[in-house]
Amino acid sequence: MKIVCSKSNLAKGVSIVSKAVATKTTMPILECILVDASLDIIKLTANDMELGIETTIEGEIIEHGIIALNAKLFSEIVRKLPDNEVVIDTDASNQTMISCEKAKFTIAAQSGEDFSYLPAIEKEDSIEISEFTLKEVIRQTIFSIADNDTNKMMAGELFEIEEDMLKVVSLDGHRISIRKINLKNSYERRKVIVPGKTLQEISKIISGESDAEVEISFTKNHIVFEFDKTLVVSRLIEGDYFRIDQMISSDYETKVKVNKRELLDCIDRATLLIKEGDKKPIIISIGDEAMELKIKSQIGSMDEEIMIEKEGKDLLIGFNPKFMIDALRVIDDEEVDLYFMNAKAPCFIRNEQQSYIYLILPVNFNVVA
């Protein structure tokens, strides 16, 4: 095999597919990137058997062939090459020369025939949304997935399609994030659980342009994302997702309208007094025209008042400040509505259209003097 392409094209392609390279495996071939020039296009592929990414790059094929190169070494070499044309030339014994200007590397490769190709997907149905929308939806929900493997459902996000609505849900046992997106067309009802890792990697790859489309296709066991010469195939998480509707309530005893930036900045300031790993709550006292926020730790204490519009009862309630910050950071509205039932019930942050809903469980606390 012999190909010629620009360093920038090659580096971009390697960066995209590297996100699906296996990091802990007993199969060395899964630590490789496949360079496939067996047809009339140059394809790069990586596959860790749960997530597979394939992208095409522009370049010239001088001699057709296919080879698998160690991903870590290959990407480091490409990254440090001069910004010029790169030649990749492989001989019959799989010795591969990567050259650019006066720099020449010769490394051992593995046969491309041994590589685990992406599964052949027969798409049952698909939807289209913009790259901007997909990137935003992931940003606005991904922080609520569980960061350990104690419950595989919590390590993924629910994608639920009903007619012209896509609902994306994540939860970790302490909070729930829900985003609803209107689709251009109506589709058959479908529920799938997509691994959080897949969504995090897609979010890094897509540009987020509003006029660029992503086609999302489904099979029984896989979800496929197609965009900008790139194909991402991910295994789905099997099982039934949590019954979210039973956890969501529209009842409330207290409603607060508050400037989002003021509330976020206040809670952010309060966290200066919390050491990492410390579970000190922020205590919120809701009165008629003001909300008082207090925090007390070994380092010191802080209290601050924010003006609010209130409906209903006064309330004293405590929260993990990080959970409040995570939700407020991804809301783009200038003002937010917070709904409370009592000091033991969840807080709901939602807009009137309920296009976003954030549920945060309160925590027990000792009253700060």
Amino acid identity for residue 212 in this structure: A
CA distances from 185 to 114, 180, 181, 212, 303 (A): 42, 15, 12, 17, 49
Rounded Cα distance, 126 and 88, in Å: 37
Q: Among 197, 221, 246, identify where a domain stops.
A: 246
Dihedral sign for Cα 265, 268, 269, 270, please.
positive
Question: Is the same domain home to 98 and 156?
Answer: no
- Dmax (CA) for the chain in angstroms is 80
Per-residue pLDDT 10s for the chain (369 aa) are 999 999 999 999 999 999 999 988 888 999 999 999 999 999 999 999 999 999 999 999 999 999 999 999 999 999 999 999 999 999 999 999 999 999 999 999 999 988 988 887 777 678 999 999 999 999 999 999 998 767 899 999 999 999 999 999 999 999 999 999 999 999 999 999 999 999 999 999 998 888 999 999 998 899 999 999 999 999 999 999 999 988 999 999 999 999 999 999 999 999 999 887 788 899 999 999 999 999 998 889 999 999 999 999 999 999 999 999 999 999 999 999 999 999 999 999 999 999 999 999 999 887 644
Question: Is the same domain home to 42 and 96?
Answer: yes
In a domain, 119, yes or no: no
Question: Is the same domain home to 107 and 53?
Answer: yes
In a domain, 120, yes or no: no
Rounded Cα distance, 342 and 99, in Å: 67
| Sheet-wide strand order for 301-307 | 301-307, 290-296, 282-286, 315-319
Question: Is the same domain home to 237 and 259?
Answer: no
Question: Is the same domain home to 6 and 88?
Answer: yes
Residues in the chain: 369
pTM of the shown model: 0.92
Quote the pLDDT of residue 186: 93
Give the phi and the psi of residue 233 in degrees, each rounded to 5. Answer: -115, 125
Q: Determine contact, residues 236/159, Cβ cutoff 8 Å.
A: no
Q: Which helix (DSSP H) or strand (DSSP E) does residue 75 occupy?
A: helix 71-80
Q: Among 246, 262, 295, identify where a domain stops.
A: 246
Question: Is the same domain home to 27 and 84?
Answer: yes
Rounded Cα distance, 97 and 83, in Å: 17
In a domain, 369, yes or no: no
Chain centroid, CA 353 distance in Å: 24
In a domain, 368, yes or no: no
Question: Is the same domain home to 79 and 132?
Answer: no
Q: At what angle do helices 196-205 and 131-139 cross, to 10 degrees?
A: 130
Q: How many domains does the chain have?
A: 3
Q: Determine contact, residues 98/41, Cβ cutoff 8 Å.
A: no
Question: Is the same domain home to 323 and 239?
Answer: no
Any bridge partners for residue 159, and if so which?
Answer: 168, 192
Any bridge partners for residue 286, and if so which?
Answer: 291, 315
Question: Is the same domain home to 96 and 132?
Answer: no
Task: Give the number of other Cβ atoms within 10 Å of residue 75's Cβ.
Answer: 19
In a domain, 106, yes or no: yes
Give the phi and the psi of residue 273 in degrees, each rounded to 5. Answer: -95, 10
Question: Is the same domain home to 282 and 339?
Answer: yes
First-to-last C-alpha distance (Å) of the chain: 74
Quote the pLDDT of residue 26: 84
Q: Among 89, 114, 139, identify where a domain stops.
A: 114
CATH number at residue 204: 3.10.150.10
User: What tokens were used for 159?
Assistant: 């994608």
| Domain housing 185 | 125-246
Question: Is the same domain home to 98 and 185?
Answer: no
Task: Please calculate the CA angle 331-334-338 and round it to the nearest 5 degrees.
Answer: 65
In a domain, 151, yes or no: yes
Name the nearest CA neighbour of 260 among 327, 345, 311, 321: 327
Question: Is the same domain home to 278 and 355?
Answer: yes
